[in-house]
Structure 1
């Protein structure tokens, strides 16, 4: 049973690496963005609530995200393990997640942090070619990420559950390092 939390700035390769590990370990890759989009698409009760915030251009509140995660982690395919990608994003969410997992009788094994230099992240994100990905907006997103996530990294480091991985290498090398980290 493997339960992992993935951290990393936008462009660090979290989605790619979480997908590779999920495949290798045969556990679900749970992306909070994907859960949200699916709940809205399937028009579930939680999806309807989330849609109201999305339509208003507001962030979906933590409480609703937690309900979506609780629902997803309770599904049968997540009993043998999971990789959580995109949550938690701050210490408050990390504390909520601990309570949620305790209520489900689960705990996570490792928090894996993909470290990539800002210049590389900017270059990667600019290559994606999204209209809203200007260098200025990317740097702002990285600043916001650092403000919110640095305390989160310390939160997990203090609990001796954080493993930082150099994400500025060939994807196969990063995957290898991640597999070695969770085997330790």
Structure 2
């Protein structure tokens, strides 16, 4: 299972990615988590991206592609992965194809959520962190979300069309319950796997 999850900030990609990773026994690769770890650890990469992340800016394609390629080279991705937060641009999608070499994606799932719901979710997430005595994520503010949505509309929506033209895109209502979303994704993935297997060349052909 080699899967990419697309959707705007707050769409629930992380929640569904964790469910899928557990179900298919493959790693959940969240570029946001990877970058936040680097920032917290004060690594060279973390210092490079910290200010951009806090401002809600997208990280350079080359940096992100290098981070993902290095992670995909690890042994635990041999049987597949769930990618959350990458690719964000067509250039990154092409870099992902190069990193996968002879392998191909099973599908690309896009969670569709309207902006009003996204703002409500971000505010709720920040409030929950405060109630739990934890620091809210630096990018969990309405101002930062608005900025990120502009970037999403400018770059990532083109990626959706790109994957649709490749026959990989699955659009799912991201405003349903987490359980309903998971069930819908599971049904679509069964169909995607059947199509992928039927397209594979048979021995002797």
Q: TM-score range by the shorter chain?
A: 0.7 to 0.9
Aligned positions of 1:19-168 closer than 5 A: 19-39=18-38, 47-48=43-44, 50-54=45-49, 57-58=51-52, 60-102=59-101, 105-129=102-126, 130=136, 133-168=140-175
Q: Name the structure 1 match of 2:132.
A: none
Distance 1:79 1:170, change over 3 A: same
Shift of 1:132: 5.5
Most deviating of 118-127 and 140-149: 140-149
RMSD: 2.1
**Distance (whole Å) between structure 2 residues aligned to residue 35 and residue 135 of structure 1:** 23
Larger-gyration structure (1/2):
2
TM-score (norm 1): 0.86
**Distance (whole Å) between structure 2 residues aligned to residue 135 and residue 66 of structure 1:** 28
Q: Over residues 12-47 of structure 1, what are the superposed CA-to-partner deviations in whole Å (9 max), with x where a residue is unaligned?
A: 00000000111111110001122234456678xxx5
Shift of 1:95: 1.3
Distance 1:142 1:42, change over 3 A: closer
**Distance (whole Å) between structure 2 residues aligned to residue 66 and residue 91 of structure 1:** 12
Shift of 1:115: 0.4
SS in structure 2 of the partner of residue 178 of structure 1? helix
For the 8 Å contact 2:39–2:49, the answer to whether it is kept is no
Distance 1:93 1:167, change over 3 A: same
For the 8 Å contact 1:114–1:167, the answer to whether it is kept is yes
**Distance (whole Å) between structure 2 residues aligned to residue 36 and residue 136 of structure 1:** 21
Distance 1:155 1:126, change over 3 A: same
Structure 2 stretches lacking a partner, 5+ long? 53-57, 127-135, 192-205
**Distance (whole Å) between structure 1 residues aligned to residue 155 and residue 182 of structure 2:** 26
Shift of 1:140: 3.0
Count the aligned residue pairs: 176
